[in-house]
Amino acid sequence: MSLSLESTCTGVIGVGNMGEALLAGLIQAGVPASNICFSEKRDERAAEISAKYGATRKSNLEIALDCTVILLVTKPQDLEPLISEIATSIKSETLLVSFAAGKTTSFIEERLTGSPCVIRVMPNTPALIGKGMAAISAGKFATKDQLDFVHTFLTACGEVVEVPENLQDAVTALSGSGPAYFFAMVEAMVAAGTQLGLSAEVATKLANQTIYGAAGMLLESGKSATTLRENVTSPNGTTAAALKVFADSELNGIVLKAMTAARDRSQELA
Protein backbone atom coordinates (compact mmCIF):
# COMPACT_ATOMS: atom_id res chain seq x y z
CA MET A 1 0.00 0.00 0.00
CA SER A 2 1.45 3.36 -1.06
CA LEU A 3 1.77 6.02 1.63
CA SER A 4 1.31 9.69 0.87
CA LEU A 5 2.26 12.49 3.25
CA GLU A 6 -0.71 14.49 2.05
CA SER A 7 -3.40 11.82 2.49
CA THR A 8 -2.21 9.28 5.07
CA CYS A 9 -3.95 9.33 8.45
CA THR A 10 -1.18 9.32 11.06
CA GLY A 11 -1.60 8.84 14.79
CA VAL A 12 0.85 9.72 17.55
CA ILE A 13 0.43 7.77 20.77
CA GLY A 14 2.25 9.77 23.43
CA VAL A 15 2.83 13.51 23.01
CA GLY A 16 5.51 14.25 25.55
CA ASN A 17 8.47 16.29 24.33
CA MET A 18 9.54 13.73 21.72
CA GLY A 19 6.00 12.97 20.60
CA GLU A 20 5.33 16.67 20.11
CA ALA A 21 8.57 17.07 18.13
CA LEU A 22 7.51 14.22 15.84
CA LEU A 23 4.01 15.64 15.44
CA ALA A 24 5.54 18.98 14.47
CA GLY A 25 7.86 17.14 12.07
CA LEU A 26 4.91 15.45 10.38
CA ILE A 27 3.29 18.83 9.73
CA GLN A 28 6.53 20.36 8.52
CA ALA A 29 7.00 17.39 6.16
CA GLY A 30 3.62 18.05 4.56
CA VAL A 31 1.09 16.00 6.53
CA PRO A 32 -2.04 18.15 7.00
CA ALA A 33 -2.97 18.66 10.64
CA SER A 34 -6.43 17.37 9.77
CA ASN A 35 -4.83 13.99 8.99
CA ILE A 36 -3.01 13.77 12.33
CA CYS A 37 -4.48 12.52 15.57
CA PHE A 38 -2.90 11.88 18.93
CA SER A 39 -3.64 10.31 22.29
CA GLU A 40 -2.79 11.93 25.59
CA LYS A 41 -3.93 11.08 29.12
CA ARG A 42 -3.76 14.63 30.48
CA ASP A 43 -6.60 16.92 29.41
CA GLU A 44 -4.57 20.09 29.81
CA ARG A 45 -1.73 18.76 27.67
CA ALA A 46 -4.16 17.48 25.03
CA ALA A 47 -5.81 20.89 24.81
CA GLU A 48 -2.39 22.51 24.43
CA ILE A 49 -1.40 20.19 21.55
CA SER A 50 -4.73 20.60 19.77
CA ALA A 51 -4.57 24.39 20.01
CA LYS A 52 -0.96 24.57 18.90
CA TYR A 53 -1.06 22.17 15.96
CA GLY A 54 -4.70 21.61 15.04
CA ALA A 55 -4.40 17.84 15.44
CA THR A 56 -7.31 15.81 16.84
CA ARG A 57 -7.26 14.02 20.16
CA LYS A 58 -8.46 10.40 20.06
CA SER A 59 -8.20 7.34 22.25
CA ASN A 60 -5.56 4.67 21.60
CA LEU A 61 -8.25 2.36 20.22
CA GLU A 62 -9.63 5.04 17.90
CA ILE A 63 -6.14 5.68 16.55
CA ALA A 64 -5.64 1.95 15.96
CA LEU A 65 -8.93 1.77 14.04
CA ASP A 66 -8.56 4.98 12.03
CA CYS A 67 -4.86 5.43 11.24
CA THR A 68 -2.65 3.88 8.56
CA VAL A 69 0.54 4.97 10.34
CA ILE A 70 0.87 4.90 14.14
CA LEU A 71 3.85 6.35 15.99
CA LEU A 72 4.37 4.59 19.32
CA VAL A 73 6.21 7.20 21.37
CA THR A 74 6.21 5.40 24.70
CA LYS A 75 8.58 4.35 27.43
CA PRO A 76 9.91 0.80 26.96
CA GLN A 77 7.97 -0.53 29.94
CA ASP A 78 4.72 0.90 28.53
CA LEU A 79 5.01 -0.66 25.07
CA GLU A 80 3.72 -4.16 25.85
CA PRO A 81 0.50 -3.05 27.60
CA LEU A 82 -0.11 -0.56 24.78
CA ILE A 83 0.26 -3.25 22.11
CA SER A 84 -2.06 -5.52 24.08
CA GLU A 85 -4.64 -2.74 24.24
CA ILE A 86 -4.71 -1.97 20.51
CA ALA A 87 -3.71 -5.33 18.95
CA THR A 88 -7.18 -6.44 17.86
CA SER A 89 -8.00 -3.02 16.38
CA ILE A 90 -4.93 -2.62 14.16
CA LYS A 91 -5.59 -3.11 10.44
CA SER A 92 -3.36 -5.48 8.46
CA GLU A 93 -1.91 -2.64 6.37
CA THR A 94 -1.15 -0.39 9.34
CA LEU A 95 2.46 0.68 9.85
CA LEU A 96 3.65 0.80 13.46
CA VAL A 97 6.68 3.01 14.11
CA SER A 98 8.20 2.34 17.52
CA PHE A 99 10.35 4.87 19.37
CA ALA A 100 10.68 2.73 22.51
CA ALA A 101 14.34 2.30 23.46
CA GLY A 102 15.59 -1.26 23.40
CA LYS A 103 12.40 -2.83 22.07
CA THR A 104 12.90 -4.83 18.88
CA THR A 105 10.56 -4.98 15.92
CA SER A 106 10.11 -8.70 16.62
CA PHE A 107 8.89 -7.81 20.14
CA ILE A 108 5.95 -6.05 18.51
CA GLU A 109 5.50 -8.48 15.62
CA GLU A 110 5.19 -11.45 17.97
CA ARG A 111 2.33 -9.77 19.82
CA LEU A 112 0.27 -9.19 16.68
CA THR A 113 -1.34 -11.53 14.18
CA GLY A 114 -0.58 -11.83 10.47
CA SER A 115 2.36 -9.93 8.98
CA PRO A 116 2.49 -6.65 10.93
CA CYS A 117 4.55 -3.84 9.43
CA VAL A 118 6.92 -2.41 12.05
CA ILE A 119 9.78 0.08 11.88
CA ARG A 120 12.03 0.87 14.81
CA VAL A 121 13.47 4.35 15.36
CA MET A 122 16.04 5.66 17.80
CA PRO A 123 15.76 9.47 17.84
CA ASN A 124 17.44 11.96 20.14
CA THR A 125 16.29 15.08 21.93
CA PRO A 126 17.73 17.70 19.51
CA ALA A 127 14.76 16.67 17.34
CA LEU A 128 12.91 19.16 19.55
CA ILE A 129 14.68 21.99 17.70
CA GLY A 130 14.83 20.31 14.29
CA LYS A 131 18.43 19.19 14.72
CA GLY A 132 17.91 15.58 15.75
CA MET A 133 19.66 12.40 14.68
CA ALA A 134 17.49 9.35 14.07
CA ALA A 135 18.37 5.81 13.04
CA ILE A 136 15.69 3.62 11.47
CA SER A 137 15.45 -0.15 11.00
CA ALA A 138 12.80 -2.12 9.16
CA GLY A 139 11.02 -5.08 10.69
CA LYS A 140 10.43 -8.34 8.86
CA PHE A 141 7.37 -7.17 6.94
CA ALA A 142 7.95 -3.43 6.48
CA THR A 143 8.19 -2.22 2.89
CA LYS A 144 10.54 0.21 1.16
CA ASP A 145 7.63 2.60 0.65
CA GLN A 146 6.97 2.59 4.38
CA LEU A 147 10.65 3.17 5.14
CA ASP A 148 10.67 6.08 2.72
CA PHE A 149 7.61 7.58 4.43
CA VAL A 150 9.26 7.42 7.86
CA HIS A 151 12.57 8.72 6.49
CA THR A 152 10.83 11.69 4.86
CA PHE A 153 9.00 12.97 7.91
CA LEU A 154 11.95 12.35 10.23
CA THR A 155 14.16 14.57 8.06
CA ALA A 156 11.92 17.45 9.18
CA CYS A 157 13.32 16.81 12.68
CA GLY A 158 16.98 16.47 11.63
CA GLU A 159 19.16 13.83 10.00
CA VAL A 160 18.28 10.17 9.39
CA VAL A 161 20.31 7.02 8.76
CA GLU A 162 19.17 3.46 8.16
CA VAL A 163 20.98 0.73 10.10
CA PRO A 164 20.59 -3.03 10.58
CA GLU A 165 18.44 -3.56 13.65
CA ASN A 166 21.18 -5.45 15.50
CA LEU A 167 23.09 -2.14 15.63
CA GLN A 168 20.25 -0.13 17.17
CA ASP A 169 21.60 -0.64 20.69
CA ALA A 170 24.93 0.85 19.56
CA VAL A 171 23.03 3.77 18.02
CA THR A 172 21.27 4.27 21.34
CA ALA A 173 24.63 4.40 23.10
CA LEU A 174 26.06 6.92 20.63
CA SER A 175 23.40 9.32 19.37
CA GLY A 176 20.38 8.40 21.49
CA SER A 177 22.13 9.05 24.79
CA GLY A 178 24.85 11.19 23.23
CA PRO A 179 23.36 14.64 23.89
CA ALA A 180 23.57 13.95 27.64
CA TYR A 181 27.31 13.27 27.31
CA PHE A 182 27.82 16.74 25.86
CA PHE A 183 25.59 18.34 28.47
CA ALA A 184 27.67 16.62 31.16
CA MET A 185 30.85 17.91 29.52
CA VAL A 186 29.47 21.46 29.50
CA GLU A 187 28.51 21.12 33.17
CA ALA A 188 32.07 20.04 33.96
CA MET A 189 33.57 22.89 31.91
CA VAL A 190 31.37 25.46 33.66
CA ALA A 191 32.22 24.05 37.07
CA ALA A 192 35.93 24.11 36.26
CA GLY A 193 35.66 27.65 34.92
CA THR A 194 34.09 28.90 38.13
CA GLN A 195 36.80 27.16 40.18
CA LEU A 196 39.36 29.00 38.05
CA GLY A 197 37.77 32.32 38.96
CA LEU A 198 35.10 33.01 36.32
CA SER A 199 31.55 33.87 37.27
CA ALA A 200 28.96 31.17 36.62
CA GLU A 201 27.27 33.41 34.04
CA VAL A 202 30.47 34.05 32.07
CA ALA A 203 31.64 30.43 32.34
CA THR A 204 28.28 29.21 31.07
CA LYS A 205 28.31 31.56 28.09
CA LEU A 206 31.88 30.63 27.21
CA ALA A 207 31.20 26.89 27.43
CA ASN A 208 27.88 26.97 25.57
CA GLN A 209 29.18 29.04 22.67
CA THR A 210 32.36 26.97 22.47
CA ILE A 211 30.40 23.72 22.12
CA TYR A 212 28.02 25.36 19.63
CA GLY A 213 30.85 26.73 17.52
CA ALA A 214 32.81 23.48 17.62
CA ALA A 215 29.75 21.52 16.50
CA GLY A 216 29.24 23.99 13.67
CA MET A 217 32.82 23.50 12.51
CA LEU A 218 32.36 19.72 12.48
CA LEU A 219 29.22 19.99 10.37
CA GLU A 220 30.26 22.77 8.01
CA SER A 221 34.03 22.49 7.51
CA GLY A 222 34.03 19.04 5.94
CA LYS A 223 36.99 18.14 8.15
CA SER A 224 37.17 15.28 10.61
CA ALA A 225 37.17 15.74 14.37
CA THR A 226 40.77 14.51 14.37
CA THR A 227 41.88 17.18 11.88
CA LEU A 228 40.03 19.95 13.71
CA ARG A 229 41.54 18.87 17.02
CA GLU A 230 45.02 18.83 15.54
CA ASN A 231 44.50 22.28 13.99
CA VAL A 232 43.82 23.85 17.38
CA THR A 233 46.58 21.97 19.22
CA SER A 234 49.94 23.72 19.06
CA PRO A 235 52.95 21.66 20.23
CA ASN A 236 53.61 22.28 23.92
CA GLY A 237 50.73 24.76 24.01
CA THR A 238 47.78 25.18 26.35
CA THR A 239 45.48 22.85 24.43
CA ALA A 240 48.15 20.18 24.28
CA ALA A 241 48.54 20.40 28.06
CA ALA A 242 44.81 19.88 28.57
CA LEU A 243 44.57 17.04 26.04
CA LYS A 244 47.47 15.27 27.72
CA VAL A 245 45.42 15.12 30.91
CA PHE A 246 42.53 13.57 28.96
CA ALA A 247 44.90 11.04 27.38
CA ASP A 248 46.56 10.20 30.70
CA SER A 249 43.10 9.65 32.16
CA GLU A 250 42.28 7.34 29.22
CA LEU A 251 39.39 9.41 27.87
CA ASN A 252 38.81 6.99 24.99
CA GLY A 253 38.49 4.11 27.42
CA ILE A 254 36.10 6.07 29.64
CA VAL A 255 33.87 6.91 26.67
CA LEU A 256 33.92 3.30 25.46
CA LYS A 257 33.04 2.05 28.93
CA ALA A 258 30.18 4.55 29.21
CA MET A 259 28.77 3.75 25.78
CA THR A 260 29.07 0.02 26.41
CA ALA A 261 27.03 0.48 29.59
CA ALA A 262 24.38 2.37 27.61
CA ARG A 263 24.38 -0.32 24.90
CA ASP A 264 24.05 -3.10 27.47
CA ARG A 265 21.17 -1.34 29.21
CA SER A 266 19.40 -0.95 25.87
CA GLN A 267 19.75 -4.69 25.31
CA GLU A 268 18.34 -5.37 28.77
CA LEU A 269 15.24 -3.32 27.92
CA ALA A 270 14.44 -5.69 25.06
Q: Is the pLDDT of residue 1 over 70?
A: no
Section 49-57 average pLDDT: 97
The residues of the chain that CATH labels 3.40.50.720 are 10-168
Q: What is the dihedral of CA 79, 83, 84, 88, to 10 degrees?
A: 170
Contact status, residue 124 vs residue 133, Cβ threshold 8 Å: yes
What residues are paired with 37 via a beta bridge? 11, 56
Arch. (CATH architecture) of 10-168: 3-Layer(aba) Sandwich (3.40)
Q: How many CB atoms lie within 10 A of CB 227?
A: 10
Q: Is the pLDDT of residue 33 over 70?
A: yes
Q: Is the pLDDT of residue 237 over 90?
A: yes
| List of residues 6+ apart from 54 with CB closer than 8 A | 33, 34
Q: Is the pLDDT of residue 174 over 70?
A: yes
Per residue in 190-217, pLDDT (tens digit) is 999 999 999 999 999 999 999 999 999 9
Which helix (DSSP H) or strand (DSSP E) does residue 248 occupy?
A: helix 238-248
Distance of CA 246 to the CA centre of its chain: 29
The three-state secondary structure class of 162 is: strand
Burial class (CB within 10 angstroms; exposed 0-12, middle 13-18, buried 19+) of 224? exposed
The model carries a pTM of 0.92
Strands 56-57 and 69-72: unpaired
Q: Whole-angstrom Cα distance, residue 119 to residue 251?
A: 35
Strands 132-138 and 117-122: antiparallel
Which helix (DSSP H) or strand (DSSP E) does residue 121 occupy?
A: strand 117-122
The three-state secondary structure class of 72 is: strand
The residues of the chain that CATH labels 1.10.3730.10 are 178-269
Per residue in 72-127, pLDDT (tens digit) is 999 999 999 999 999 999 998 999 999 999 999 999 999 999 999 999 999 999 99
Contact status, residue 198 vs residue 189, Cβ threshold 8 Å: no
Sign of CA dihedral 34, 73, 108, 111: negative
Arch. (CATH architecture) of 178-269: Orthogonal Bundle (1.10)
